[in-house]
Amino acid sequence: MTKILLVEFNELCPDLMEKWIASGDLPNFRKLRDQSQVFTTNADVDTAEHLEPWIQWYSMHTGLPYDVHGVYHLTDGPKANYEDIWQILSVRPERS
């Protein structure tokens, strides 16, 4: 079984992080980044109102844009009934 550790950072600025890593100010973060697969997302919304973190987290966890999933509050995710990364990763393959 492959084990996965997923670390999500909220509200980091990738450009600033790279600047500080390059300058040597964040040696441990450099080590983490260099040993990881890094994925950076962009906000998928057209209004500041939809920059709510819970909208963005749900978009990232489902791969769906806000205009499809419509999840605005943290507790709305389970009610939306879209498959998210946690459901996909928790499926255990059948053993033969």
Write the DSSP symbol of residue 64: -
- Write the pLDDT tens digit of every residue in 12-57: 888 999 999 999 999 999 999 999 988 887 776 677 777 777 888 8
What would the mean pLDDT of 52-76 be, rounded to a whole number?
87
Measured distance CA(39)–CA(7) in Å, rounded? 11
What would the mean pLDDT of 82-95 be, rounded to a whole number?
80
Contact (Cβ atoms closer than 8 angstroms) between residue 70 and residue 80: yes
Answer yes or no: is pLDDT of 96 > 60.
no
Contact (Cβ atoms closer than 8 angstroms) between residue 54 and residue 43: no
